[in-house]
Structure 1
Amino acid sequence: METGLKGKKVIVTGGGSGIGRAAVLAFAAEGASVLVADINGAKALAAAEEARAAGVTAEAVVGDLGSPEVVDEVIRTALDVLGGVDVLVNNAGIMDDMSATADVTDETWERLIRINLTAPFLLTRAVLPHMRARGEGSIVFTASEASLRGGASGTAYTASKHGVMGLVKSTAVMYRDHGIRVNAIAPGGTATDISIGTPTSVDGPTALGRYAQNIGRVADAKEQAAAIVFLASDAASNVNGAILPVDNGWAAV
């Protein structure tokens, strides 16, 4: 498969661990330069070092991507160090505590929406002028099985990931005539270090537990990264506005 990614400049958020780290290394293996953005400084720096070991330019930016100042730093560093932005991977995200709607606290709701939806919106808005000026670009989001159904996670996480799906589709339509493609993967169960908070009541976990048997095999982070690289690459040149389940058939059950 010809990816056309050699020499491309890629931003990966949440790139210090899990799916993000696997994507950083997969892009580096294709010869792309990578900016690793993550709130965990040690992990961001380690992932960037691993990418450099593959012979590409790599840099790390540490901070909370829900902050406009951090987003500005990510874009500025990509332009100054990598020389531009060809691909944005909006991967950073957090889980909720599986709470049902009546049990979701204001703090949980606001935190999930800020990190899972507002942060990728801010980054997408920031890169679009640069991609539009060049007449091409690819943006890939990490959505979720919870983007496709109501029984995969708690209310706050599910709402945030449904919002991601809307952001993907709207942006794809708005910018397809400018050579910019916007897609997402929807991972099912995947072995990462993302943490789940302690539920505040039994309502959410009890309801969700009825559907847990449908999850199937738990994926490796590299399997999710391979799908991200595909959507970012020339091999998916006519794929736009798609939400690709990478879930061993969970979405088909």
Structure 2
Amino acid sequence: MSPVVIARDLRRVFAGPDGAAVTAVDGVSFQLGAGECLGLVGASGSGKSTVAALVMGFDRPTAGSVQVHGREVRCDRGSAARWHYRHIQMVFQQPQASFDPRRTLGRGIAESLMNAGVAAPAARERAEELLTRCGLPAAFADRYPHQVSGGQCQRAAIARALASEPSVLVCDEATSALDMTAQSQVMELLADIRGQRQLALLFISHDMALVQQMCDRVLVMSDGRIVEEGPTAHVIGNPQHPYTQSLIDAVL
């Protein structure tokens, strides 16, 4: 089976405050298969979120490419963007901030469906179904982001991401803003959804313990580069790079 996501030699260079070039991502390559969970781990500033932005098409690489289902990801609008976001969605670090505070959770979930031509009543019904599937009462469709807890809001964000029935889900520090109980619940939800739908999951984190729990393989990033990669059990059980060891030591 062909990989769902292929990243080849990704490089992203920004202009720093003084005008000097800053390389955020430097030669990153990986593949992600259907039903697989790939961990991308590293400290803040290692380049993880930039990789996520490139995979999502939020940003354009300076060099290299990303393909989803064989089609190159571009920072496009129109039909190309609609096709892309039917297949790949993202769950963000701050769930409340990812919703429009002026709209209910149900409207936030239903919006992508209505944009795709689904009538408002059917989109509302689908939003309620998704909330229930993610472990929330259907009545939460009428609540605003500030009226629910962080864990509940993140469940709603996952429901929103699933609305288009994507084959790839990018989770960028999706549990780091939650308390331990909510974090555990969201991790369990993601694992269940992955198993049910053969969802390809790119799980971005700074926490090796979460990656060990969730991921089949792991890429370790430092200063924009992948310094170690392999099956999660092998990398954590026998780290070859000092930076990987330092990440493991931080959670012991």
Q: What is the TM-score normalised by the length of structure 2?
A: 0.35
Q: What is the TM-score normalised by the length of structure 1?
A: 0.34
Whichever structure has more helix as a proportion of its residues is: 1
Select the structure with the greater relative contact order (CA < 8 A; seq sep ≥ 6): 2
Whichever structure has more strand as a proportion of its residues is: 2
**Bigger Rg over Cα:** 2
